[in-house]
Chain A
Amino acid sequence: MYSYLKIDHVDKSFFRGAQSTEVLKDITLGIAQGEYVSIIGHSGCGKSTLLNIVAGLVSVTSGGILLEDREVNAPGPDRAVVFQNHSLLPWLTVYDNVRLAVDKVFSSTKSRTERHDWTMHNLDLVQMGHAKDKRPAEISGGMKQRVGIARALAMEPKVLLLDEPFGALDALTRAHLQDSVMAIHQKLGNTVLMITHDVDEAVLLSDRIVMMTNGPSARIGEVLEVPLARPRKRLELSTNATYLKCRQRVLEFLYERQRFVEAA
Chain B
Amino acid sequence: MSLTALKSEPTVVLPNARAAAVLQLPAAKPSPARSRIVPMLTAAAARTLPPLITAVLLLAVWELLCSQPGATLPSPSKIWSEANDLILDPFFVHGSQDIGLGWRVLVSLERVAIGYGFAAVIGIILGTIVGQSVWAMRGLDPIFQVLRTISPLAWLPISLAAFRDSQPSAIFVIFITSVWPIIINTAVGIRNIPQDYRNVAAVLRLNHLEFFWKIMIPSAAPYIFTGLRIGIGLSWLAIVAAEMLTGGVGIGFFIWDAWNSSRLSDIVVALAYIGGIGFLLDRLVAMLANVVTRGTAAN
Contact = CB atoms under 8 A, between A and B. Distances in A.
B199 interface: yes
Contacts of B298: 90, 137
A55 B294 CA distance: 32
B274 to A, nearest CB: 36
A237 interface: no
Interface stretch (B111-119, B164-172, B200-208, B236-244): B200-208
Given A57-B199, A83-B199, A85-B196, A90 B295 contact: yes
Given A89-B215, A90-B295, A137-B299, A56 B202 contact: yes
Nearest to B218: A91
Nearest to B221: A91
Contact of A104 (B199, B205, B218, B219): B205
A77 B200 CA distance: 10
Contact of A89 (B200, B203, B210): B200
Contact of B299 (A56, A90, A101): A90
Given A83-B196, A137-B295, A89 B202 contact: no
Contacts of A80: 203
A79 to B, nearest CB: 7
B91 interface: no
A100 B204 CA distance: 9
Contact of A101 (B194, B197, B204): B204
Given A83-B196, A85-B196, A100-B214, A91 B295 contact: yes
Contact of B202 (A75, A85, A100, A137): A75
* Chain A interface residue number, banded: 20 to 34
B299 A81 contact: no
A105 B210 CA distance: 13
A100 B215 CA distance: 11
A100 B221 CA distance: 19
* Chain B interface residue number, banded: 20 to 34
B296 interface: yes
B218 A76 contact: no
A116 interface: no
Nearest to B200: A87
Contacts of B299: 90, 136-137
A253 to B, nearest CB: 30
A167 to B, nearest CB: 14
A100 B206 CA distance: 10
A144 to B, nearest CB: 9
A135 interface: yes
Contacts of A137: 295, 298-299
A87 B197 contact: yes
B106 to A, nearest CB: 35
A244 B196 CA distance: 37
Nearest to A89: B197
A77 B196 contact: no
Nearest to A135: B295
Contacts of B196: 83, 85, 87
Contacts of B204: 77, 100-101, 104-105, 155
Contacts of A76: 203, 205
A90 B293 CA distance: 10
Interface of B: 194, 196-197, 199-200, 202-206, 210, 214-215, 218-219, 221, 293-299
Given A75-B199, A91-B295, A101-B204, 7 more contacts: A76-B203, A87-B194, A89-B200, A90-B298, A104-B205, A136-B299, A155-B203
